[in-house]
Amino acid sequence: MKELICIVCPKGCHLQVDEDRNYAVSGNSCPRGEEYGRMELTHPTRVVTSTVRCTGGAHPRCPVKTEGPIPKELIFQAVRCLDGVELTAPVRTGDVVVADVCGTGVPFVATRDL
């Protein structure tokens, strides 16, 4: 039995996940918490946010995020693949910055207009 704090929302439910009973989750208050509990022990993932260089805009950096969660162990590699990428304004929210982050098929997208 593992104890976890759910990070799906700010509520932070205290979850218990039973590895011996097919990762049965208790302590959650929504279905997303159940999924998180199971995933966190079998295949933990995170959405990664960072920035990239941008020229011609109001700021020298544009914020980005992975459009979906990627495996936790790829976080550092994912952030590094942004080095050297340079956008040119105008940038629109949702514009693809890196099409496939570390072979996950998940893209990095811009999170603001610049």
Partner 1 sequence: MYDLIVIGGGPAGLAAACSAWGKGLRRILIVERDKELGGILNQCIHNGFGLHYFKEELTGPEYAGRFIKMLGDTGVEVRLDTMVLTVTPDRQVHMVGKDTGYRVEEARTIILAMGCRERTRGAIAIPGQRPAGIFTAGAAQRYVNMEGWLPGRRVVILGSGDIGLIMARRMTLEGAEVLACVEVMPYSGGLNRNIVQCLRDYDIPLYLSHTVTDIKGRDRVEQVVVSRVDAHRRPIPGTEMVFDCDTLLLSVGLIPENELTRQAGAAMDPRTSGAVVYENMETSLPGVFACGNVAHVHDLVDFVTAESQRAGQSAADYVLGRTGGEEEALEVCTGDGVSYTVPQRIRPGRVDKSCPLFFRVNRVCGDSEILVRSGETQLACFSREHLAPGEMERIVLPRILLDRADERITVSIREVVSQ
Partner 2 sequence: MYDVLIIGCGITGAAAACQLSRYRLKVAVLERENDVSAGTTKANSAILHAGYDPEPGSLMAKLNVRGAALAKELCARLDVPYRPCGSLVLAFSDQDDQMVRTLCQRGLANGVPGVEVLTGDQARTMDPNLSPQVTSALWAPSAAICSPWEYCLALAETAVRNGADLHLETAVTGLERQAEGWLVRTGRGEFYARYVLNAAGVSAQEVHQMAAPKTFTIHPSRGQYFLLDKCEGDRVGHVIFQCPGPSGKGVLVAPTVHGNLIVGPDAGPVEGNDVSTTGEGLGFVRRTALKSVPSINFRESIRNFAGVRAASDRGDFIIEFAAPGFLDLAGICSPGLTAAPAIAEYAARLLAEDGLALEEKENFLCQRRRIKFHHLSPADKAALVAREPAYGRVICRCETVTEGEILEALRGPIPPRSVDGVKRRVGAGMGRCQGGFCGPRVVELLARERGVSPGAIVQDRAGSWLLAAQTKGGTDHV
Asked if 61 interacts with partner 2 (CB under 8 A), we say yes
CB atoms within 10 A of CB 17: 23
| Contact present, 24 and 42 (Cβ < 8 Å) | no
User: Quick one: 14 exposed, middle or buried, by C-beta within 10 A (0-12, 13-18, 19+)?
Assistant: exposed
Which among 18-26, 50-58, 99-107 is the span making contact with partner 1, rule CB under 8 A? 50-58
Asked if 55 interacts with partner 1 (CB under 8 A), we say no
Which residues contact partner 2 (rule: CB under 8 A)?
51-53, 61, 82-85
Which residues contact partner 1 (rule: CB under 8 A)?
4-10, 12, 46-51, 53, 58-61, 63, 65, 72, 75-76, 79, 93, 111-113
